[in-house]
Amino acid sequence: MAGFRFRCTECATPYDENDVRLVCAACADKQEPGGVTRGVLEVELDELPTNWPQAPPSHPDFLTAFLPIPSAEHLPPLPVGGTPLVAAPQLRQALGMPRLWVKDDTRNPSGSTKDRASLLVVAKAREYGYDTVAAASTGNAATALAAVSASAGTRAILFVPANAPEAKLVQMLSYGATVLPIDGNYDDAFELCLAACEEFGWYNRNTALNPFTIEGKKTAGLEIAASLAPEVPDAVLVPVGDGVILAGVAKGFSDLDRSGLIDRVPRLIAVQPEGAAAIVTALTEGRETIRPIPGAQSVADSLTVEAPRNALQCMNVIRASGGSGVAVSDEAILTAIPRLASLSGVFAEPSAAAGLAGLDVALEEGLVERGERVVVLVTGTGLKDVPAAARAVERPGVIAPTLEAVAARV
Ligand SMILES: [Zn+2]
Please give the DSSP secondary-structure letter assigned to residue 161: E
**How big is the CA angle at 270 (ends 121 and 258), to the nearest 5 degrees?**
60
Phi, psi of 200 (to 5 degrees): -105, 0
**Does residue 98 have a pLDDT over 60?**
yes
User: CA angle at residue 151 from 145 to 157, to 5 degrees?
Assistant: 35
The model's pTM is 0.96
- Per-residue pLDDT band at 138 (split at 50, 70, 90): confident
Distance 280 CA to ligand 1 centre (A): 24
> Do residues 191 and 103 lie in contact, with contact meaning Cβ atoms separated by under 8 Å?
no
Residues in the 5 Å CB sphere of ion ligand 1: 8, 10-11, 13, 24, 26-27, 39
Statement: residue 88 has pLDDT above 60: yes
Q: Tell how far the Cα of 128 is from the centroid of ligand 1, in angstroms.
A: 23
- Report d(CA 162, CA 188) in Å as an integer: 11
18 or 328, greater pLDDT: 328
Q: Give the Å distance between the CA of 10 and the centre of ligand 1.
A: 5
Spacing, Cα 15 to ligand 1 middle (Å) = 10
23: CA distance to ligand 1 center in Å? 8
Q: pLDDT per residue over 161-191, tens digit each?
A: 998 889 999 999 999 999 999 999 888 999 9
Instruction: Report which of 241, 393, 240 is spatially closest to residue 305, judged by C-alpha positions.
Output: 241
38 CA distance to ligand 1 middle (Å): 8
Distance separating alpha carbons of residues 380 and 302, to the nearest angstrom: 9
Q: How far is the CA of 74 from the centre of ligand 1 (A)?
A: 29
**Ligand 1 center from residue 12 Cα (angstroms):** 6
Span from the CA of 198 to the centroid of ligand 1 (angstroms): 20
| Gap from CA of 43 to ligand 1 centroid (Å) | 13
Nearest to residue 108, comparing CAs of 165, 68, 151, 137? 151
Q: If you measure from the C-alpha of residue 191 to the centroid of ligand 1, how many angstroms do you get, rounded to a whole number?
A: 20
Task: Give per-residue pLDDT as tens, 26-42.
Answer: 999 999 988 899 999 99
Beta bridge partners, 85, equal: 103
For residue 28, report the distance from its CA to the centre of ligand 1, in Å: 7
Is the peptide bond preceding residue 76 cis, with omega within 30 degrees of 0? no
* CA 32–ligand 1 middle distance (angstroms): 15
What is the rounded CA–CA span in Å between residue 79 and residue 381?
17
pLDDT 10s digits, 271-289: 999 999 999 999 999 999 9
Residues 354-385 pLDDT 10s: 999 999 999 999 999 999 999 999 999 999 99
Give distance in angstroms: CA of 50 to centre of ligand 1: 30
pLDDT at residue number 374: 98
pLDDT band of residue 2 (cuts 50, 70, 90) is low
235 bridge partner residues: 267, 374
Q: In angstroms, rounded to a whole number, what is the distance separating the alpha carbons of residues 172 and 365?
A: 39
pLDDT digits (tens, 9 = 90+) for 200-248: 999 999 988 999 999 999 999 999 999 999 999 999 999 999 999 999 9
pLDDT at 77: 96
**pLDDT at residue number 187:** 85
CA of 29 to the centre of ligand 1 (A): 9
Taking the centre of ligand 1 as the mean of its atom positions, its distance from the CA of residue 46, in whole angstroms, is 20
Of 144, 118, 143, 122, which is closest to residue 132 (Cα–Cα)?
122
Q: How far is the CA of 41 from the centre of ligand 1 (A)?
A: 8
User: pLDDT at position 165, please?
Assistant: 87
Side-chain-side CA neighbours of 283 within 13 Å: the count stands at 28
Average of pLDDT values for 4-20? Answer: 95
Distance 98 CA to ligand 1 centre (A): 43
Average pLDDT, the chain: 96
Distance 25 CA to ligand 1 centre (A): 7
Work out the angle between the directed axes of helices 330-344 and 350-364 (0-180°, nearest 10): 100
Query: At residue 55, does pLDDT exceed 70?
Result: yes
Ligand 1 center to residue 35 CA distance, Å? 16
- Checking if the pLDDT of 59 tops 60, the result is yes
Q: Hey, what CATH topology would domain 85-110+211-390 get?
A: Rossmann fold (3.40.50)
- pLDDT greater than 60 at residue 1: no
| Residue 17 CA to ligand 1 centre (angstroms) | 15
Give the distance (Å) from ligand 1 centre to CA of residue 353.
Answer: 35
Instruction: Please state, in angstroms and as integers, the Cα–Cα distance from residue 349 to each residue in 77, 167, 310, 383, following that order.
Output: 26, 11, 22, 7
Collapsing DSSP to helix, strand or coil, 221 comes out as helix
For the chain, give every domain's residue range. Answer: 85-110+211-390
CA of 213 to the centre of ligand 1 (A): 18
Q: Give the distance (Å) from ligand 1 centre to CA of residue 141.
A: 25
